Structures are given as C-alpha cells and as structure tokens.
Amino acid sequence: MFDIIKLKTASAGKRGLTSILIIYTGGTMGMSYDKTDGRLIPFDFSKILEKLPELYRFELELTILSFKKPLDSSNIKPDHWITLAKIISQNYEKYDGFIVLHGTDTMAYSASALSFLLENLNKPVIFTGAQLPISEVRTDARENFITALEIASARKAGRPVAPEVCIYFNNFLLRGNRAKKMQSNHFDAFVSENYPSLAEAGVTIDYNASFIAKPDSTKKLKVHSKVDTNVCIIKLFPGINRSYLNAALDTPGLKGVVLETYGSGNAPTDEWFIQALEAAIKSGIIILNVSQCIGGTVDQAKYQTSRSLNRIGVLSGEDITTEAAVTKLMFVLGNYKRNITKLLTKPLRGEMN
C-alpha cells in the first residue's frame, strides 16, 4: 500500500538528529504535466531530491512514506483519515514530527478529522500542499514544503514549538480545524477567520505562541479509529422547499446534520420548516447549527429567526467551521454513546471558542 523512501541529506548518519516522517497522499504538489497531453500525472516521489535539492542541506533525518496510488484529494474518504491516524500512531515514537502532503480541496476536512482522531497529540502534524506542481519553475510547492519542514522540526527548550495538527500554506501556519479553503487560483488558498494564525513566515518564522496548543506532555497519545459517516450537510437558501428538506432528513440511517444557516445562525421561521427539524430531533437525529459566513459565530438567542431553533433543540456550533463541524460530528457519533450534546457543544481540540 505504501512506498518508503529514506532521504539521504547532508547530515545523514549523524546521531541525535530531529526526525520527520513525510506522508505523501497525493495532490498537486507531487504532480507533473504530461508532455503528450498536458494533464497532471503523479511523478516518482523517490526523485524528490532532484526537485528539491535544498533538502540536502537540512540537519534532519527525513523519511517519506508515499501512497502507492496517490489520491486527488477529491477522492479522500474517512477511511483515509483512519489510515493516516494509524500511520502516525505506529510511527509516533520513532519520529519527532510529521508532515502530510495532501491535495488542497479537502485538506481542511482531513486536518480537522486528524485533530479529533489524535487525542493528546504532543508532536507537530503539519498538512501542506501546493497550487502548482513541484516540477514547475514557478511554484508555491517548494516554499510550502520547506517551511513546513522547518516548523515540524522546530523545538524550544527541547519541546516542539507547534504540537498540534496544523495547515501551513503561503506563509501562514493555521490550526487545522480552524482553516478553510477559500481560493482555487491564488497561492493564499486557506484562511482562518475565527482564530489567529499560529505563525507567519517571512525572513524569520514568527510564532504566535499564546495561541498554539499546550498539551499535557504526561498524557500518552490516544488514537481513535472510528468515525460514523451517517451525517449530512444541509445548506439553507432562499426557496428551500419541504420536499428537499424532508428527503435529506429522511435519509436511511441518518444520525447527524450540519445545518448551514444564515448570519449568526438564523433560519426560516415557516411552521413546516421548524416542525420538520423538530421531528428529526425527536427521532434522535442531532442537528448542529453552523453559519454560512466565513467569520463570526452562531448565536441562537440573538434574533427571533434563530430562537425557534434553540427552542426545539438545535445545537449551536458557535464559531466552528463546516469542515470541523462535519468531521467532529462523525468523530463523536463514532466513538461515544453518552454526552453527545455536551461533546459537540464544547471545544475538544480548540476547534471552537
């Protein structure tokens, strides 16, 4: 299932080096343009040093574990999140940090999912990728990859500087479960509107230490290996009709819904709409309210158009992103039988305030 590539840098063979495991799942970074028809195809990742000779200069022990069949991130599924969590678990004691090279389209989902699956994480897990292939002359892949390596290996007083699941992209380090992809044709692909960046890379890498997780180093990593995919996202829009809503809520086996509402958590007050949600909640379906806005928070007591949701038992997602909300819902439903409401409405990994 995997190819393992040991990179021989200039410092290879030295003892006591910081060790980094790089997991290549696929995505634009590891692609090249086919000379015959111009389409993007995976290149041989064992030749990464030809594309990034700068890696020779690192005082690090680097290992690359590559999926044999690299995946476009549109094809990433929850099973792949479990696989990534298991890889990190199996190699946790061998390496000081981890980098996940991943396509950008679903990177925020994967980073959010890994943050929940890796409980008591005390080492950096840095997701990164690129908008242009690493084989191109003008590409963001080199800077993203090299700086992600620096961050994953950075230590202060013998401890990692960024011991959490993050996304590094275009000069900014973001908490993974706070990030959202916002651009498909610019290098600044990701934003984190509701939480400050953890670091900014310029001439130096300036860490925002007060906002970086401070895990309890005495606790051992606990890796979860279950998610429940019986969830859906319902995005509200003017004109949403009863048949559409009922069809979604009547999905066989449905256990949870991320309801994307307007503004600070507002929704239509039509009687049929509220009754449909109330009936779903009484049948045992969890409904989690998140805002369609990029920034801001859900406040179900602020307007009349959200108080009805509060009354019937819709849960407030506060300032959580949709990506974090759906993966958290899968995680909680897959691993807990009790206190579901409490777990969903409190921060587990810094995903909400």
26 has pLDDT over 80: yes
116 has pLDDT over 60: yes
What are the pLDDT digits (tens) for 155-198? Answer: 999 999 999 999 999 999 999 999 999 988 888 899 999 999 99
Residue 148 gets the label, from left (phi > 0), alpha (psi -120 to 50) or beta, of alpha
343 has pLDDT over 70: yes
- Tell me which of 39-53, 75-89, 164-178, 210-224 is least confident: 39-53
More confident residue, 322 or 36: 322
More confident residue, 32 or 98: 98
1 has pLDDT over 70: no
* CATH 3.30.499.10 is held by the domain 2-223: no
Close Cβ partners of 239 (under 8 Å, ≥ 6 residues apart)? none
Residue 350 gets the label, from left (phi > 0), alpha (psi -120 to 50) or beta, of left
More confident residue, 48 or 291: 291
119 has pLDDT over 90: yes
What are the pLDDT digits (tens) for 79-88? Answer: 999 999 999 9
Max CA separation in the chain (angstroms)? 70
Q: Assign 132 a pLDDT band (cuts: 50, 70, 90).
A: confident
Per-residue pLDDT averaged across 218-242, rounded?
Answer: 97
- Per-domain boundaries in the chain: 2-223, 231-344
Per-residue pLDDT averaged across 50-79, rounded?
Answer: 85
- Does the reported pTM lie above 0.85? yes
Buried b (16+ CB within 10 A) or exposed e, 337-350: eeebeebbeeebbb
Q: 265 φ, ψ to 5°?
A: 105, 25
Rounded distance between C-alpha atoms, residue 145 and residue 23, angstroms: 12
Q: Which one of the listed residues 28, 261, 322, 327 is annotated catalytic?
A: 28
Instruction: Find, among 203, 251, 221, the residue nearest to 94 by Cα.
Output: 221
Which residue's structure tokens are 């958590």?
Answer: 265
Domains 2-223 and 231-344 share a fold: yes
What are the pLDDT digits (tens) for 97-111? Answer: 999 999 999 999 999
Q: Assign 309 a pLDDT band (cuts: 50, 70, 90).
A: very high
**CB-based contact 6:55 (threshold 8 Å):** no
Per-residue pLDDT averaged across 278-290, rounded?
Answer: 98
- Would residue 28 show up in a list of annotated catalytic residues for this protein? yes
**What is the model's pLDDT at position 50?**
72
Rounded distance between C-alpha atoms, residue 20 and residue 154, angstroms: 11
Topology of domain 231-344, CATH? Rossmann fold (3.40.50)
Instruction: Find, among 162, 189, 211, 29, the residue nearest to 108 by Cα.
Output: 189
